[in-house]
Amino acid sequence: MPILLFLLLVAVSVVVGWFGRNRAIGFAGFFVLSLLLTPFVMALVLLVSVPRTPSANRKSLKAPGEKDSQEA
């Protein structure tokens, strides 16, 4: 029985991590913290956190030979 509860904890933590993949701490952060704290607490944190916005540096990075959308 304790093994099933542990597997349930890991499964719910994976789900919380999946929903947190576009947040500041990402999948790994939400997954590990939900294992340490509880998935319920991290689900509440997930509800009040804001999505990660793409940074200006990521927009400016492009593959060699790739044109900007404005150049097309």
**pLDDT per residue over 37-49, tens digit each?**
999 999 999 999 8
Q: Quick check: 10 and 31 in contact, CB under 8 A? A: no
* Euclidean distance between CA atoms 68 and 64, whole angstroms: 11
pLDDT tens for 7-55 read 999 999 999 999 999 998 899 999 999 999 999 999 999 999 888 887 6
CA dihedral (62, 67, 71, 72) positive or negative: negative
